[in-house]
Amino acid sequence: MKPTRLGVIFAAAAVAAGPAACRRAETPEASAGRPEEANSSPREAMFWQGLEDDAVRCDLCPRRCVIPEGERGFCRVRENREGKLYSLVFGRPCTVDVGPIEKAPLYHFLPGHRRLCLATVSCNLRCRYCHNWHISQVAPGQVRELQFSPEEIVDRARKLGLTSISFTYTEPVIFYEYVYEISRLARERGLKTSIVSNGFINPEPLRKLLPHLDAVKIDLKGFTEQFYREVTGAELGPVLETLQVLREEGAFFEIVNLVVPTLNDDPADIRRMCQWIVENLGPEVPIHFSRFSPTYRLTHLPPTPVRKLEEAVAIAREAGLKYVYIGNVPGHRDNSTFCPGCEERLIHRVHFSVLENRIRDGKCPSCDYRIAGLWN
Statement to judge: residues 204 and 308 lie in one domain = yes
Phi-psi map region of 169: left, alpha, beta (phi>0 left; psi -120 to 50 alpha)? left
Q: What is the pLDDT of residue 94?
A: 98
Tell me, what's the pLDDT at 9?
A: 42
Q: Is the pLDDT of residue 282 over 50?
A: yes
Q: Are residues 152 and 165 in the same domain?
A: yes
180 and 277 belong to one structural domain? yes
- In the predicted structure, residue 23 carries a pLDDT above the cut 80: no
Of 54, 87, 120, the domain-final residue: 87
pTM confidence score: 0.91
Tens-digit pLDDT profile for residues 175-189 = 999 999 999 999 999
Q: What's the rounded mean pLDDT across residues 295-303?
A: 98
Q: Is residue 251 part of a domain?
A: yes
Question: What's residue 320's pLDDT?
Answer: 98
Residue 194 maps to which CATH number? 3.20.20.70
Do 272 and 325 meet the contact criterion of CB atoms below 8 Å apart?
Answer: no
Dump the DSSP string for 44-82.
EPSSEEE-GGG-EEE-SSTT--EE-TT-B-TTSSEEEET
- Radius of gyration, CA atoms only, the chain: 20
Flag whether 151 is in a domain. yes
Which string of b and e fits 78-88 if b means at least 16 CB within 10 Å? bbbeeeebbbb
In angstroms, the Cα distances linking 75 to 71, 187, 336 are 11, 28, 36
Check whether 312 has a pLDDT greater than 90: yes
Average pLDDT for residues 163-180, to the nearest whole number?
A: 98
Contact between 344 and 366 (Cβ < 8 Å): yes
Q: Do 317 and 349 have their domain in common?
A: no
Contact 56, 83 (CB under 8 A): yes
Task: Evaluate whether residue 252 is within a structural domain.
Answer: yes
Is residue 58 domain-resident? yes
On whether both 343 and 316 belong to a single domain, the answer is: no
Are 50 and 192 part of one and the same domain?
A: no
Residues contacting residue 5 through CB under 8 Å, at least 6 positions apart? 23, 26, 97
Amino acid at residue number 233: G
Q: What's the pLDDT at 13?
A: 37
Q: What is the pLDDT of residue 3?
A: 63
Report percent pLDDT > 70 for the chain: 89
Average pLDDT over the chain reads 91
In terms of residue numbers, what domain contains 371? 337-376
276 and 366 in a single domain? The answer is no
Domain annotation covers residue 5: no
Task: Give the whole-angstrom CA distance, residue 36 versus residue 148.
Answer: 10
* 120 belongs to a structural domain: yes
Number of domains comprising the chain: 3
**29 and 47 fall within a common domain:** no
**Residue 153 amino acid letter:** I
In Å, what is the CA distance from 347 to each residue of 69, 180, 333, 365, 372?
53, 32, 11, 12, 13
- Which pLDDT tens digit goes with each residue over 87-109? 999 999 999 999 999 999 999 99
Q: What is the pLDDT of residue 38?
A: 42
In this predicted structure, which of 8-22, 55-69, 309-323 has the lowest mean pLDDT? 8-22
Mean pLDDT is lowest, of 31-35, 152-156, 320-324, 325-329, for 31-35
Q: Are strands 215-219 and 78-81 parallel, antiparallel or unpaired?
A: unpaired
Domain end among 87, 119, 150: 87
Residues 204-261: tens digit of each pLDDT:
999 999 999 999 999 999 999 999 999 999 999 999 999 999 999 999 999 999 999 9
